[in-house]
Amino acid sequence: MQFQAKQERLSNAPETPVRLTTETTLFLCKSVHFKKAPNDTAVVIFTNDKTVEANMGLDHKDIRKVLDIFHGIHLKANWSLERFPTWVKSPDQAPHSNLHIH
C-alpha cells in the first residue's frame, strides 16, 4: 500500500508552487502530529512546540503520501528515520502493519 501511495504521488502532474509574499509569517515547525478526527479522517498538526500553528485534514489514504514525503525529506537531510514505521521505507522491506493514529 505504501508503494502504491508513492507511485500515485509521483505519477501526478506537478502542482503550481506556493509563492510567499512579504506578508507571509515565517514559522519553524519543530514537531508534526497525526490525530484521528471525529469524522473518521486524519489531521496533521504542525507545531513550534509551544502552540499549534497549522493543521490540515486528510483522507486516510493520503496519510501514506504524507509519510512518504516526510520520509524523503528526512533521507535528503540525513536525519534519523527511527520514528518512521518500517513499511514506509521501501516495498521490499515492508512488513504487513497498520498505521495507528492517536
Whole-structure pTM value: 0.58
Own/partner pairs, 56-61, CB within 8 angstroms, 24+ separation: 61/5
pLDDT in tens, 9-30: 677 767 777 788 888 777 888 8
Q: How high is the pLDDT of residue 97? A: 41
The total of other beta-carbon atoms located within 10 Å of residue 34's CB is 16
Can you give the pLDDT at residue 26? 79
Q: Which residues pair with 47 in a beta bridge?
A: 31, 52
Q: Which residues of the chain have pLDDT under 70?
A: 1-2, 5, 9, 13, 90-102
User: Cell 521490499 appears where?
Assistant: 92
First to last CA, the chain: 21
C-alpha cell at 26: 515565517
> What is the structure's pLDDT at 78?
92
